[in-house]
Amino acid sequence: MNNININSKRVFFRNDRSPNPENGYVLYWMQANRRFQYNYALEYAVGWANKLDKPLLIYEELRCDSPWASERFHHFIMEGMQENLDYTREHQLNYYAYLEEESGAGNELVYSLAENACTVITDEYPVFIIRDRNRKISQELNIPYITVDSNGLIPLGLTEKAPYNAYFFRKIMQQNFIDCYTHPPQKNPLRQLENQEKITFRDDLLEKYSQAEKHLKNRDSFICNLPINHKVMKTELKGTRQAALGKLGQFIQYGLPKYDEKRNDPDENTTSGLSPWLHYGKISEYEIVDAVLDHQPKGWSLDNITFNNGSTGGFFNGDPNINSFLDEVITWREVGFHFAHHEENYDHYESLPDWALETLQKHKDDPREYLYTLEEFAQSQTHDEVWNAAQTQLREEGVMHNYLRMLWGKKVLEWTPNPESALAYLIELNNRYALDGRDPNSYSGIFWIFGRFDRAWQERPIYGKVRYMTSKSTRKKVKLKQYLKRYGNQKQLL
Ligand SMILES: Cc1cc2nc3c(=O)[nH]c(=O)nc-3n(C[C@H](O)[C@H](O)[C@H](O)COP(=O)(O)OP(=O)(O)OC[C@H]3O[C@@H](n4cnc5c(N)ncnc54)[C@H](O)[C@@H]3O)c2cc1C
């Protein structure tokens, strides 16, 4: 597909089948990046449709049998799907939404839609059910199944092995930043679509589609009957692209100017809060980076960038707040994607670095002063006020401040019988409650607690040489008064 101007390191041919030009359309299955703008995979699918002179069918689904499916995530995703439905109606695009009502009922749908497709293009995503589905389905279809990486700025195919720390990845990022940034995804790839024919469906498919339209309108009554977790309730955050863009605008105005100095203070609320929308792909990392760079001081240009061999400060130059934010959203966000892309067992305890496995093993039987069960953790029932407040924010609002998230994880390691159960508890708590959970960054954040991407520190009980944090020093280091007032006194739910 040399007529489509996308870095080949973003494109993965998952089988070696040839397109079937007799079939009716090109199928784009929107799995991870649920947006129509700045989306390389969609752009690539439009390129195929134009090349074959076929219409494009965009398919988006929501399954009720996904691990950790709950009211919280269903509301968030369905709000986004309603927005996508409205957009495609307004622009007369072929969009097929599907909402699964019984566990397993949707297994066959993508195969039914693929029956009439010349080729399938979908999102490359290195973790969770999307990774496994892409592997399985690509082998079962007799048409090409191509995954395209629209996750970040640095293409996943550009790294050759799993980066073992942020410094290693930052070096690669710095070497490639200008090239990647100056070859952005198109803002509106669907404007390039040539064949605008309306696709007609079999009666059974039409029936499923009209059910989905109805359910999107009656979200509450649809969701309340599904076989999903009804104890994890919806939050005030809306899962739309519009909400994501609003959040970005607010952050640039109020948070960014103080980001470098105040980002660790829970009371200050200076971080972007964008991770839920980044997770569901409602907003692209490129457009965040672009909007932020637009606020560099007058006179700044890409010529001011200086390669500094992987160090944090002084690469972007200009405003230190921008430098600090871009290091989080590019380096720290993407190191997790690249790690999972290369590491088959990204979510297994054994994938920790050798030094961490060794030291945690040595301290496995160290006595623990406090031990809690999973549900005691879940309901904020520890002896520690700061920990309980952080967990309450996560349980009630689906988000947690980054600095407290580190402390939160470290304490679970300390208060469980062994590191393997601590890991299992953290994955469960994070993915059960966090809107941004089930993401490559869920695993990089959680595994960081146990030493991934970090180095050895002074040896102590339980942690061994893994980095240690305490609520006492957190209280001294960051501003927490308002935070504790807000989340510290909430009624416990047990
Ligand atoms: C135990 C633990 C679990 C975590 N689980 C998740 C998770 O499930 N999903 C998730 O997206 N992040 C996770 N993180 C990383 C980080 O806490 C969040 O990305 C960040 O708090 C999101 O808030 P924000 O959008 O306001 O971040 P901002 O500070 O505004 O940063 C902007 C974006 O940069 C990225 N980012 C920022 N900090 C980090 C970081 N330390 N690591 C990776 N990416 C970062 C995120 O995409 C974030 O949205 C976890 C960290 C820890 C320690």
Q: What is the arrangement of strands in the sheet containing 11-13, beginning at the earlier edge strand?
A: 11-13, 145-148, 117-123, 25-29, 56-62, 94-99
468 & 370 share domain: yes
**245 pLDDT exceeds 50?**
yes
Q: CA of 457: how far to CAs of 107, 385, 463, 468, in Å?
A: 48, 26, 10, 8
Q: CA of 389: how far to CAs of 7, 378, 408, 471, in Å?
A: 45, 11, 10, 11
Read off the CATH number of the domain in which 357 is found.
Answer: 1.10.579.10
Mean pLDDT over 39-53 rounds to: 97
Of 300, 322, 342, which closes a domain?
342
- Over pLDDT 90: what percentage of the chain? 91
Q: What is the pLDDT of residue 312?
A: 84
Residue with the smallest CA separation from ligand 1 atom 33 is: 329
Looking at residue 229, the DSSP 8-state letter turns out to be B
Give the ligand 1 atom nearest the CA of 275.
49
**Exposed/middle/buried for 220, CB within 10 Å: 0-12, 13-18, 19+?**
exposed
394 lines ligand 1 (CB under 6 A): no
Of 342, 365, 391, which closes a domain?
342
**Exposed/middle/buried for 320, CB within 10 Å: 0-12, 13-18, 19+?**
middle
310 & 409 share domain: no
Task: Quickly state the pLDDT bin for 493 (edges 50, 70, 90).
Answer: very low
Q: Which of 260, 265, 427, 436 to mutate to test the pocket of ligand 1 (most atoms within 8 A of CB)?
A: 436
Average pLDDT, the chain: 95
Read off the CATH number of the domain in which 274 is found.
Answer: 1.25.40.80
Task: Quickly state the pLDDT bin for 3 (edges 50, 70, 90).
Answer: low
Contact assessment for residue 238 and residue 255, using Cβ atoms and an 8 Å cutoff: no
Q: What is the Cα–Cα distance from 137 to 353, expressed in whole angstroms?
A: 32
Residue 30 covered by a domain? no
Residue 80 covered by a domain? no
297 & 332 share domain: yes
Tens of pLDDT, residues 360-393 = 999 999 999 999 999 999 999 999 999 999 999 9
**333 pLDDT exceeds 70?**
yes
What is the Å distance from ligand 1's center to 241 Cα? 19
358 & 476 share domain: yes
Residue 363 covered by a domain? yes
What is the Å distance from ligand 1's center to 273 Cα? 9
What is the Å distance from ligand 1's center to 81 Cα? 24
318 & 253 share domain: yes
**100 pLDDT exceeds 60?**
yes
Q: What is the Cα–Cα distance from 403 to 413, expressed in whole angstroms?
A: 16
Residue 49 covered by a domain? no
359 & 483 share domain: yes
User: Which of 126, 170, 148 is closest to 44 using CA atoms?
Assistant: 148
Of 342, 366, 383, which closes a domain?
342
Q: What is the pLDDT of residue 490?
A: 53
435 & 482 share domain: yes
260 & 304 share domain: yes
Enumerate residues 6+ apart whose C-beta is below 8 A from 320: 260, 313
338 & 353 share domain: no
Give the ligand 1 atom nearest the CA of 446.
1
Contact assessment for residue 65 and residue 157, using Cβ atoms and an 8 Å cutoff: no
Range of the domain at 250: 241-342
251 & 381 share domain: no
Task: Quickly state the pLDDT bin for 104 (edges 50, 70, 90).
Answer: confident
Q: What is the pLDDT of residue 1?
A: 46
Number of domains in the chain: 2
What is the Å distance from ligand 1's center to 85 Cα? 29
Mean pLDDT over 19-38 rounds to: 97
273 lines ligand 1 (CB under 6 A): yes
